[in-house]
Amino acid sequence: FQVTCGTSSRTVWGASVLVRVRSGARVRDLWHVHYSLWHNANSAPDSHAHFLYSLRKNINSRKTKTFLSEVNSLRLACEAEAGSGRGVGGVLGGAGAGGCAGAALVFCCEHGAGRSGTALAADLLHDILDNNQELDIPRTISMLHQQRANLIQNVHQYKFLHQLLLHYLKQSRLI
């Protein structure tokens, strides 16, 4: 395998980097997203401000994407690439028809559960809200737990998800 890093961006909340994995003629791209403001794996972030889907101005008056807006942008780009047929073959799995797939989006943390699971659940629940689907948090989390046990590890992470969704709804809708 040959692994190379391509495009990357650093923000106040962390970083994202495009990683290319090559095995012979097969190539697979993936986006690795790292949220560095969440230091303690047994807790939740201190603030939901860097998580929300909005553009905020940083101290240099430049607009910077929040964590979930970056994740959403990358996910949409991955889906568009997969739909266009530009993606190439599945070294890391997930290949579509004909052995082609778009870039993958990777959340990771030390255990592959608490922090990355909470981030994944937050993105999924926001997507459900944005697409006006029925929001059933316990059912959604239960479905995620079927795929990965301990995806959300403790009450702090559940509470953070609920607070994040409540803040998002207050910010984006008339309630």
Q: Picking from 65-74, 88-97, 98-107, 121-130, which range would have the lowest pLDDT averaged per residue?
A: 88-97
Strand pairing partners for 8? Answer: 17
Which is it for strands 55-57 and 63-65: parallel, antiparallel or unpaired? antiparallel
Tell me the average pLDDT across 116-125.
88
Q: What angle do CA 117, 140, 172 make, to 5 degrees?
A: 85
CA distance 70 to 39: 20
Q: What is the pLDDT of residues 31-76, one digit of tens each?
A: 988 888 787 777 888 777 777 754 344 444 445 678 888 888 888 8
Instruction: Flag whether the pTM goes above 0.85.
Output: no
pLDDT of residue 101: 57
Alpha helices in the chain, H assignment, sequence order: 67-84, 114-130, 137-147, 155-172
Beta strands, E only, 83-148: 104-107
pLDDT at 136: 94
pLDDT at 2 over 90: yes
What is the model's pLDDT at position 110? 72
Q: For residue 91, is pLDDT > 70?
A: no
The larger pLDDT score, comparing residue 63 to residue 21, is at: 21
CATH classification of the domain holding 43: 3.90.190.10
In the predicted structure, residue 93 carries a pLDDT above the cut 90: no
pLDDT at 84: 61
Residue 122 CA to residue 159 CA, distance in Å, equals 12
Domain carrying residue 24: 2-172
Share of residues in the chain with pLDDT > 70 (%): 80
Q: Which two tokens stand for residue 97?
A: 């028809």
**How many CA atoms lie within 13 Å of 21's alpha carbon, on the beta-carbon side?**
14
Q: How many structural domains compose the chain?
A: 1
Q: How confident is the model at residue 11 (pLDDT cuts 50, 70, 90)?
A: confident
For 26, list phi and psi in degrees, rounded to 5: -90, 135
Q: Which two tokens stand for residue 137?
A: 């948090």
Query: 142 falls in which pLDDT band (50, 70, 90)?
Result: very high
